[in-house]
Amino acid sequence: MSIRKAVKDRPAYNFEPKPYTIKLDQNESPYDLSAELKEKVFDKLRDTAFNRYPDIHADGLRAAIADYCDWPELGIAVGSGSNTLIRRMIEISGLGQTVLCLKPTFAVYELDANLLEPDALIELDLNADFSLPVEKLKEVLASKTGVFFLANPAAPTGNIHPQTEVLELLKVAQQNDWTVIIDEAYHQFSDTDYSKLIKDFPNMICLRTLSKAFGLAGVRLGYALGNPDYIKHVQKAIPPFSVSVVQLAIAEVVLGDGRQVVEDYIQEVRSERERIFAALDAANIAYHPSATNFFLLPCKDPEKLYNAVLADGLLIRRQDHLVESCLRISIGKPEENTEMLKIILKHY
Ligand SMILES: Cc1ncc(COP(=O)(O)O)c(C=O)c1O
């Protein structure tokens, strides 16, 4: 059996399910698609031939995204989860060159780079206040080339990087032919949109997901917005027919008749976030402010607090291996957030 050393050395991406009453551990939407919208999906599927291959490059969905984002269809690539597109971008722009990212950040950049070509990976530590190490990043961007992943809003820290700093980095990256991936998985919750800058920085890609604000984590869909000249290469790296007719039908309904539901959920996250932060302020509990649908809660003993709240049915996520002493809590339905606050205050 021949297995590359990089693959043998890579730890498995583990996710251990735990029993819960309230699930606030994976930054998902707490709302399933309504029965009415599901009926529309079923109607679509009734007329769909399951024996035929789907569109080769998910053309119907790319058209729906083009309409939703006001973006040319040829500048859109779709994959089964935005995490599958991350690997494609490393294959296209990182191998034999550099994969640059921050630490901590979304784990898949590092995991995929380590699987494909560990020597290509450069990780730079965020500053203690979660801001970007701008000068150090500029040094790498000026001396090498490859692909640079920047989650904005950031994960797992939840902050937004100031646009002035990102622009400084984009300029140096452009001079040295980098591909810059701005991962906007959470952008609807912060009302930021870097796609507007792609006309000035054609080397930039906005990576998006349907797993968060669109509430389709179980459906596995993500997309990239970019310059058609780059996207045509991304299409070559995506396995043909990789988005199924079932995924296509669901996403087309959500991006069509489901738009208002998505908008309402985004507004609810923003107001619940404020309510949660006000309650923590009132209880004198410090937290890291966030522009996303989750936030980091520092505490004295993360393992103890995690286990205590889990015993009361509240499932959150340990992040103390990434950010000192922190647990991560997703924003749920209003009644779940009220219960979450009660349980946290009881054990904190
Ligand atoms: C920053 C960031 N990017 C991408 C993803 C992956 O999204 P998807 O479900 O589309 O693979 C996540 C998921 O948590 C994320 O936090």
Q: Which residue's entry shows tokens 């906005």?
A: 206
Ligand 1, residue 211: give the atom nearest the CA: 9
CATH topology of domain 5-27+259-347: Aspartate Aminotransferase, domain 1 (3.90.1150)
Compute, in angstroms, the gap from residue 185 CA to the centroid of ligand 1: 6
Domain ranges of the chain: 5-27+259-347, 49-255
What is the distance between the alpha carbons of residues 69 and 271, in angstroms, rounded to a whole number? 24
What confidence score (pLDDT) does residue 123 get? 98
Q: Please enumerate in sequence order all residues whose Cβ is within 8 A of that of 174, keeping only pairs 6 or more positions apart, or say none.
A: 201, 203
Would the CB of 106 count as within 6 Å of ligand 1? yes
Task: Please give the helix or strand (H or E) that residue 208 lies within, else none.
Answer: strand 204-209
Would the CB of 183 count as within 6 Å of ligand 1? yes
Ligand 1, residue 155: give the atom nearest the CA: 1
What is the distance between the alpha carbons of residues 300 and 256, in angstroms, rounded to a whole number? 46
What confidence score (pLDDT) does residue 12 get? 81
Distance from the Cα of residue 119 to its chain's centroid: 25
Compute, in angstroms, the gap from residue 218 CA to the centroid of ligand 1: 12
What confidence score (pLDDT) does residue 17 get? 86
What is the architecture of the domain spanning 49-255? 3-Layer(aba) Sandwich (3.40)
What confidence score (pLDDT) does residue 65 get? 97
Q: Does the pLDDT value for residue 75 go beyond 90?
A: yes
Among 5-9, 44-48, 137-141, 310-314, whose mean pLDDT is lowest?
Answer: 5-9
Q: What is the pLDDT of residues 11-66, one digit of tens each?
A: 887 788 899 999 999 999 999 999 999 999 999 999 999 999 999 999 999 999 99
Work out the average pLDDT over 164-172. 98
